[in-house]
Amino acid sequence: MIKYIKLLVLFLLLLVCTSGCKDKEKPGILFSKEPITIHNVMNASRNFEVGQKIYYLFYTPDKIKSEFIRVQVFKAGDNVPRGGYSIVWTGDYRIMKQNMYYYYNNFVLHSAGRYVMQVFDVDNLGQPLAWNFFYVK
């Protein structure tokens, strides 16, 4: 009986180890100090200077179904007792049919601090498609 239990456990272990399961790819946001191209996409950065252009790339493995996305940047404050988040910049952008899996653009911030960028589908503003943080010094 114990021999069959060991054989069953070994079979289940092999089944789990050899199955082709992979994690679902998730949407994301990359930041860079220079325009993002296929040649420098691996040179992402999270640290920027005040007044410097911040280039970003939003990407998703699934096709963006909506015609517009909303990009929002908010600042995390340290001196506020509750929350301490303030929206700094928001923009709605049209997704073109030739790039339904990504969107890229840039912006400039003139105040140092910790920031978070979120990208939303305008049809569902309650749940961001992706978010990422960065610093301006």
pLDDT at residue 15 tops 80: no
With residue 54 as reference, give the H or E element that holds it: strand 53-59
CA distance 106 to 29: 12
Q: Give the C-alpha distances (Å, rounded to integers) separating 66 from 16, 80, 122.
A: 37, 36, 7
Global pTM reads 0.79
pLDDT value at 82 more than 70: no
Instruction: List, for residues 108-127, the tens digit of each pLDDT value.
Output: 999 999 999 999 999 999 99
Q: How many C-alpha atoms does 59 have within 13 Å on its Cβ side? A: 10
* d(C-alpha 134, C-alpha 75), whole Å: 10
